[in-house]
């Protein structure tokens, strides 16, 4: 039973592992969700249909037939370094997604393409089943230019929506929170997007963008807190992972449970992926969210077991973290509601541990992560022993979702690496 209390050390900024007392067997969890699992299949089919258009907009994806996919990579050296005795360790490499270099491409690019196809269909420019590459022509661009896209972001969602939107021809307006890194803003301005800077946090930037969209005709707001399209774009990643595991000959069943570590900001990306994974693997998968010690918004929301929105500020936390993609004080109510009975638990991690793991992953694997994207490793190392207790006699396959970073500027990365190196040598 959920007694509605928080882990006692949470407000001290100490890392914690919180096991979710509300997690249910998959059938019961699905029955309590208001979302239909079939919507995930529809999103998978939509991604297939969008392929030729994606290939036009992002030539990098042509070699893979216009698919927005990332590698699944086994990490034997890291497994050895952290002393894993049994099972496997793999990384899902969304940090290098060819479209926009972060997991936000799954949600953000999907919603932009879906909206573009919807309005083009209403205008009679395309019909069901058409080859959508015709939406990448100058005529289509002129049509999209009469429409505006708005989004609120800490950085990566804005970039994904901005890049896909600008390439289609949309007029794009991105509302950024104070956490957003300058280079993320500059990159959007260079694309031709209008960047509106807010001195406030993510939730307020989203609110401002939502209000601006309400005032304007022919505008569409990509709502990171409430969009089901965004959620389903993320959920479609589950099939991709399932296919990759199968191809690699890695079984997932009661004797070979799958543990997936998902960095969590507002919740859309980890929540969508969790929903998709539960649909594919049922009780054989356990999904673990990871949040910064200063921004455990989903932890407070789920641990208090309430339907009323709660904020980390109410518990003496300041939402200040180097993990800009995870700097969110208040969770998506949609995601809290829909995944409340699906998520296994939530770990929180320190900023220092993110820098340490960003550095290890570069030194050993040449993976160029941003701090948020290193959080799954920090959580596994800190709490794996406790997290894995229910499966301690089984062959666990651990997948760490590395969510962003490949496109960060060299200078930015060098600063994080230098800090990580210092921390490692002082350990």
Ligand X SMILES: *Cc1c(COP(=O)(O)O)cnc(C)c1O
Interface residues toward ligand X, by CB under 6 A: 102-104, 156, 263-270, 325-326, 370, 372-373, 403-404
For ligand X, the closer CB: 289 or 383? 289
Contacts 24+ apart (CB under 8 A), 76-83: 77/364, 77/365, 78/360, 78/361, 78/364, 78/365, 78/377, 81/360, 81/364, 82/380, 82/381, 82/384
Query: Least distance (Å) from ligand X to the CB of residue 289?
Result: 8
Nearer to ligand X, 51 or 233 (CB): 233
Closest approach, Cβ 95 to ligand X, in A, equals 7
Closer to ligand X by CB, 46 or 374: give it.
374
Closest approach of Cβ 299 to ligand X, in Å? 13
CB nearer ligand X, residue 151 or residue 280: 151
- Which residue, 43 or 103, is less far from ligand X as judged by CB? 103
CB of 266 to ligand X, least distance (A): 4
| Closer of 126 and 298 to ligand X (Cβ) | 298
Nearer to ligand X, 319 or 403 (CB): 403
Query: How many Å apart are CA 340 and CA 345, to the nearest integer?
Result: 10
- Of 56 and 177, the one with the shorter C-beta distance to ligand X is 177
The minimum distance between CB 208 and ligand X, in angstroms, equals 17
| Smallest distance from ligand X to CB 223, Å | 12
Nearest residue to ligand X, scored by beta-carbon proximity: 265
**What is the closest distance, in whole angstroms, from the C-beta atom of residue 367 to ligand X in the complex?**
13
Would you say 176 or 264 has its CB closer to ligand X? 264
Structure tokens that stand for 177 in this block: 């929170």
Closer CB to ligand X, residue 240 or residue 370? Answer: 370
CB of 102 to ligand X, least distance (A): 5
3-state secondary structure the chain: CCCCCCCCCHHHCCCCEEECCCCCCHHHHHHHCCCCCHHHHHHHHHHHHHHHHHHHHCHHHHHHCCCCCCCEEECHHHHHHCCCCCCEEEEECHHHCCCCCECHHHHHHHHHHHHHHHHHHHCCCCCCCCCHHHHHCHHHHHHHCCCEEEEEECCHHHHHHHHHHHHHCCEEEEEECCCCCHHHHHHHHHHCCEEEECCCCHHHHHHHHHHHHHHCCCEEEECCCCCHHHHHHHHCHHHHHHHHHHHCCCCCECCECEEEEEECCCCHHHHHHHHHHHHHHHHHEEEEEEEECCCCHHHHHHHHCCCCCCCHHHHCCCCCCCCHHHCCCCCCHHHHHHHCCCEEEEEEECHHHHHHHHHHHHHHHCCCCCHHHHHHHHHHHHHHHHHCHHHCCCCCEEEEECCECCCCCHHHHHHHHHHHHHHHHCC
Phi and psi at 175, nearest 5°, equal: -100, 120
| Cβ proximity to ligand X, 264 vs 356, nearer residue | 264
How near is the Cβ of 231 to ligand X at its closest, in Å? Answer: 9
Taking alpha carbons only, the member of 168, 210, 173 closest to residue 188 is 173
């Amino acid at each position: 039973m959920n007694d509605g209390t928080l882990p006692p050390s949470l407000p001290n900024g100490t890392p914690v592992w919180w096991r979710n007392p509300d997690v249910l067997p998959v059938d019961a969890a699905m029955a309590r969700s208001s979302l239909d699992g079939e919507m995930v299949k529809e999103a998978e089919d939509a991604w297939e249909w969008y392929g030729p258009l994606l290939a036009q907009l992002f030539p990098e994806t042509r070699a893979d037939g216009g698919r927005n996919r990332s590698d699944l990579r086994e990490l034997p050296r890291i497994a050895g370094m952290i002393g894993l005795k049994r099972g496997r360790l793999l990384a899902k490499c969304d940090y290098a997604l060819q479209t926009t270099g972060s997991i936000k491409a799954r949600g953000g690019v999907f919603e932009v393409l879906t909206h573009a196809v919807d309005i083009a269909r209403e205008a009679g420019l395309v019909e069901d089943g058409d080859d959508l590459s015709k939406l990448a022509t100058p005529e289509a661009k002129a049509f999209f230019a009469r429409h505006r896209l708005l989004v609120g972001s800490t950085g990566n969602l804005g970039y994904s929506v901005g890049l896909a939107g600008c390439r289609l021809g949309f007029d794009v307006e991105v509302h950024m929170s104070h956490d957003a890194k300058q280079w993320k803003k500059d990159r959007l301005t260079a694309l031709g997007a209008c960047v509106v800077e807010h001195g406030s946090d993510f939730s307020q930037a989203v609110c401002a963008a939502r209000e601006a969209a309400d005032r304007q005709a022919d505008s569409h707001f990509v709502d990171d807190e409430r969009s089901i399209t965004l959620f389903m774009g993320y959920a479609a990643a589950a099939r991709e992972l399932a296919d990759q595991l199968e191809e690699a000959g890695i079984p997932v069943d009661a004797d070979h449970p799958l543990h997936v570590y998902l960095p969590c900001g507002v919740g859309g990306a980890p929540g969508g992926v969790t929903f998709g994974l539960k649909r594919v693997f049922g009780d054989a998968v356990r999904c673990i969210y990871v949040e910064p010690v200063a921004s455990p918004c989903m932890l407070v929301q789920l641990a208090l077991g309430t339907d009323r929105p709660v904020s980390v500020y109410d518990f003496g936390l300041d939402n200040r973290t180097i993990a800009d993609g995870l700097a969110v004080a208040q969770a998506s109510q949609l995601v809290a509601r829909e995944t409340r009975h699906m998520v296994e638990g939530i770990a929180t991690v320190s900023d220092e541990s993110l820098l340490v793991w960003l550095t290890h992953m570069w030194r050993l694997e040449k993976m160029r992560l941003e701090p948020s994207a290193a959080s799954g490793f920090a959580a596994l190392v800190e709490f794996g022993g406790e997290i894995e207790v229910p499966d301690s006699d089984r062959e666990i396959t651990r997948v760490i979702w590395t969510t962003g970073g490949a496109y960060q500027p060299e200078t930015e990365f060098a600063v994080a690496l230098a800090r990580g190196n210092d921390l490692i040598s002082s350990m």
